[in-house]
């Protein structure tokens, strides 16, 4: 595997490439082999100021356009992303190790579908409403600051950009320093789609510098953040000083609750997929599988068999299903949790410590499954964000629900069982999304968390409403 180097000469501000205010750069490394992929500017608060000034100047004109006009541009953005699928896919694979097959599909298909879904919402959304003698008007908030992580670099920003643009806002965006390269492609696509200069701006840099400046900036009216719960707490605290709106999509520790009466083979296969996809680097993953104690060993055998299909290797190989972790630092974190699980007495049934055979170089870990896991142990409570599945036995349904709800998180979960029974259990789970028997993803349905998985919602009508202010005109 060879790695090509991509030049990123500056930030994207007011529709142009703008050199940073300082000469420092951030190195982007291919996690599969350690090669340097690119150097991007290490932005400063001065760069954020310049981007905010551009966004603030562009806001009145963009906000004055019709929703239909904004939807038409958004539709062209979706088409532009789709047209550059191969470029986006190879870039993602190089910068964060997503297997090329997944980069071409989920990593591009999902953001295109999100853009299209918001385009479809524009015509029927209640931008104004009569409430008695009052006219209720939905208006854009202003300048939105967006900060995203490295695991789904394009989808995470399109999930914010699409509703923000449709609502009439302008944006200053900080991509992850680990995987920042698709941000430039997106910026070029927005310009080609006819988005006016200054409506979408990109500032590269570290979270402690650029993210902090965005969160604190008095001329940014809202911050939309996806990432760790720890970082979300910091953003909330900083943003509170200017009382700006903050939406947070944070960590998760999803439970896959398998009930008596479930199709065990189907539940095991889909459960492994939801634990190992994207190398487990998914906030909405299901790293906990809750199983009836009497069926524990049977389900373990099914899960181990299903895991064998998840080949680890070169992410540019079409047959690879798990590539490297997104960085060496993250590999070490995941490896530490695997060692902790063994030390705490969980039963190792698949994978384990160390690198996969033949992959001594690169940020690779062995996909790992633990059985007979204590539901309150470290590996069952903390977000590992890697291909580590914990199988937890339960005595009865009430205990299963208690265990499922026992973490600080509440983002996603799954239930497998007879339809109505599974739906009844799903209602008892304290998570923002529950999939029953592997329910299909719906870009029009709201997505977000309970508890320390965040606040606010993405996608659909509720996702659009997050980016709007409400004005009541009394008559």
- Count H helices, E strands: the chain? 16, 23
Residue of 177, 212, 249, 383 marked catalytic: 249
Residues linked to residue 90 through DSSP beta bridges, in sequence order: none
Q: Helix, strand, or coil here: 69? A: helix
Residue 249: phi, psi to the nearest 5? -120, 105
Backbone angles phi, psi at 169, to 5 degrees: -90, 165
Determine the Cα–Cα distance for residues 50 and 461; give it in Å rounded to an integer: 32
- What residues does 390 pair with on adjacent strands? 288, 370
Pairwise CA distance, residues 91 & 131, whole Å: 49
SS3 123: coil
The sign of the torsion formed by the CA atoms of 269, 271, 272, 278 equals positive
Question: Count of CB atoms within 10 A of residue 275's CB?
Answer: 28
Strand runs labelled E in 31-133: 36-41, 128-131
- Alpha-carbon gap, residue 475 to 472, rounded angstroms: 10
* Residue among 212, 283, 458, 466 flagged as catalytic: 283
CA distances from 302 to 270, 276, 285, 379 (A): 11, 15, 19, 21
Catalytic (active site) residue 382: no
Instruction: Name 427's Cβ contacts closer than 8 Å, sequence gap at least 6.
Output: none
Q: Are 283 and 225 in contact (CB under 8 A)?
A: no
- CB pairs under 8 A, 24+ apart, for 14-19? 14/54, 14/58, 14/197, 14/198, 14/201, 15/191, 15/196, 15/197, 15/198, 16/197, 18/47, 18/50
Q: Is 177 an annotated catalytic residue?
A: no
- 358 class by beta-carbon count within 10 Å (0-12 exposed, 13-18 middle, 19+ buried): exposed
76 sits in the region (left: phi over 0; alpha: psi -120 to 50; else beta) called: alpha
The crossing angle, in degrees rounded to 10, of helices 153-167 and 85-96 is 130
Which residues are catalytically annotated?
Answer: 249, 283
């Amino acid at each position: 595997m060879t790695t090509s180097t991509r030049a990123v000469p500056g930030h994207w501000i007011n529709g142009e490439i703008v050199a940073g205010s300082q000469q420092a750069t951030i190195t982007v490394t291919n996690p599969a082999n350690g090669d340097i992929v690119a150097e991007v500017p290490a932005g400063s608060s001065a760069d954020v100021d310049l981007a905010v000034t551009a966004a603030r100047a562009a806001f009145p004109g963009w906000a004055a356009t019709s929703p239909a006009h904004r939807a038409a541009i958004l539709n062209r953005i979706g088409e532009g992303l789709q047209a550059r699928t191969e470029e986006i896919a190879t870039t993602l694979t190089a910068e964060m190790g997503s297997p090329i097959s997944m980069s071409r599909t989920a990593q591009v298909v999902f953001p295109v579908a999100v853009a299209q879904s918001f385009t479809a919402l524009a015509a029927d959304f209640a931008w104004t409403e009569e409430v008695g003698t009052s006219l209720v008007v939905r208006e854009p908030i202003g300048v939105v600051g967006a900060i995203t992580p490295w695991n789904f670099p394009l989808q995470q920003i399109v999930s914010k950009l699409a509703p923000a643009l449709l609502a009439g806002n302008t944006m200053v965006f900080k991509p992850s320093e680990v995987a920042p390269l698709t941000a430039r492609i997106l910026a070029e696509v927005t310009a080609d789609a006819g988005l006016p200069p200054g409506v979408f701006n990109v500032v590269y840099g570290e979270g402690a510098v650029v993210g902090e400046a965005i969160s604190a900036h008095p001329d940014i009216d809202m911050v939309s953040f996806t990432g760790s719960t720890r970082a979300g707490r910091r953003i909330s605290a900083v943003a509170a000083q200017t009382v700006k709106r903050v939406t947070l999509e944070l960590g998760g520790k999803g439970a896959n609750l398998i009930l008596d009466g479930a199709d065990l083979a189907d539940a095991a296969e889909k459960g492994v997929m939801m634990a190992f996809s994207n190398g487990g680097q998914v906030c909405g993953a299901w790293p906990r599988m809750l199983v009836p104690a009497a069926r524990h060993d049977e389900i373990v055998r099914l899960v181990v068999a299903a895991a064998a299909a998840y080949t680890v290797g070169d992410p540019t190989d079409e047959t690879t299903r798990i590539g490297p972790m997104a960085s060496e630092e993250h590999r070490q974190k995941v490896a530490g949790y695997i060692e902790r699980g063994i030390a705490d007495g969980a039963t190792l049934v698949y994978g384990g410590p160390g690198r996969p055979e033949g992959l001594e170089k690169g940020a690779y870990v062995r996909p790992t499954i633990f059985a007979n896991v204590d539901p309150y142990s470290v590996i069952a409570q903390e977000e590992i964000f890697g291909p580590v599945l914990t199988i937890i036995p339960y005595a009865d349904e009430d205990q299963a629900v208690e265990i499922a709800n026992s973490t600080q998180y509440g983002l996603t979960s799954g239930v497998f069982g007879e339809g109505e029974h599974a739906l009844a259990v799903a209602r008892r789970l304290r998570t923002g999304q529950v999939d029953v028997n592997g329910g299909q993803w719906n870009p029009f349905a709201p997505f977000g968390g309970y508890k320390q998985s965040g606040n606010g919602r993405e996608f659909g009508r509720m996702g659009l409403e997050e980016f709007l202010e409400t004005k009541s005109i009394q008559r």
